[in-house]
Structure 1
Amino acid sequence: MPQLNPSPWLSILVFSWLVFLTILPLKVTAHIYPNEPAPQTAQTTDTLKTESWTWPWH
């Protein structure tokens, strides 16, 4: 039964994990985000006003 021969499949598995663990993290971390996050100013609870929603329950 050729499906049970681990010789080609083991090398494919090892090579694919080698790619996943070496090349792909470098490509993912190399992305530059166009909008850098800006630090928000600290606000007190007095300046934040919340309004309740009026749901039309039927």
Structure 2
Amino acid sequence: MPQLNPDPWFFTLMLSWAVFLTIIPTKVLAYVQPNEPALVDTNSHKFGSWNWPW
């Protein structure tokens, strides 16, 4: 049975795992979020009532 012969598929398997373990994690770890959250002082906000025009 030819499907039990691992010779043609073993190189493809090893190459795909080499790509998954070397290239993809470096690209994922290099991702930088565009908007870093900044700390906001809650005491500086003045909350007032809304004046609805009706």
- Shorter chain as denominator, the TM-score bin is 0.5 to 0.7
Structure 2 CA distance for aligned equivalents of residues 19 and 3 of structure 1: 24
Give distance in 2, aligned partners of 1:17 and 1:39: 41
Kindly indicate which of the two structures has a greater share of residues assigned to helix.
Answer: 2
TM-score, structure 2 normalization: 0.62
How far 1:20 sits from its partner (Å)? 0.3
Q: Tell me which structure has the larger Cα radius of gyration.
A: 2
* Equivalent in the alignment of 1:14: 14
Q: 1:51 is matched with which residue?
A: none
Aligned residues: 42
Q: Which runs of 5+ in 1 are unaligned?
A: 42-58
RMSD: 1.9
The 4+ residue runs of structure 1 with deviation greater than 6 A are none
Alignment of 1:1-58 (within 5 A): 1-39=1-39
Structure 2 portions without partners, runs of 5+: 42-54
